[in-house]
Structure 1
């Protein structure tokens, strides 16, 4: 799982560096620093806003942006998904190892700290995703 996280961080940093140099964005907003969490439309909107009206994205620039996003952020997004699945498998194994009942699992999620690394399952009683 550490390889997944490391790969995501490297991809996000590579895309951020590329945006800084190729798209001429001096200060990247947080959204552009974590491109693997975003969809392409959100990236385009943020790049447009960051560049301002006086420096619009050209069609060639838009193509380059799409290519850069597809090359770095899409694979990183898949790594994020893989890490999430591994976290869920681990959580299920731990719950099974402790022999938790459905009620105990539900209580676990209801009383979990707000910054849990994974979201509760939608099937947990009373839990929300």
Structure 2
């Protein structure tokens, strides 16, 4: 599919998300809502993966470049970050281990579930 059509599809989704955010009674990032909308549209089959695949691959390949403005914006608050460096580092380390543990337990649980489902399926086929 033409890259301009792919940009157009994502632009319309982002525009719809921006509009929906104005209707919400609470603050919510339009970019997150746009990702949720794309996910739901993909699940519903309204958008096909092939329709946004080329642009999505380009975004994935150039992700580091897309974070440059955000990193430059952090430099505006360097004095605030430097003043709170220990709490920020502490929270980062603790949450890293929490995420690591939660991910490990989730994978372990899913592996057990798959093994159990596989055994049940084999039991049904043999029995």
TM-score normalized by the length of structure 2: 0.34
TM-score normalized by the length of structure 1: 0.34
Higher relative contact order (CA 8 A, sep 6+): 1
Max Rg structure: 2
Q: Counting helix residues as a fraction of each chain, which structure ranks higher?
A: 2
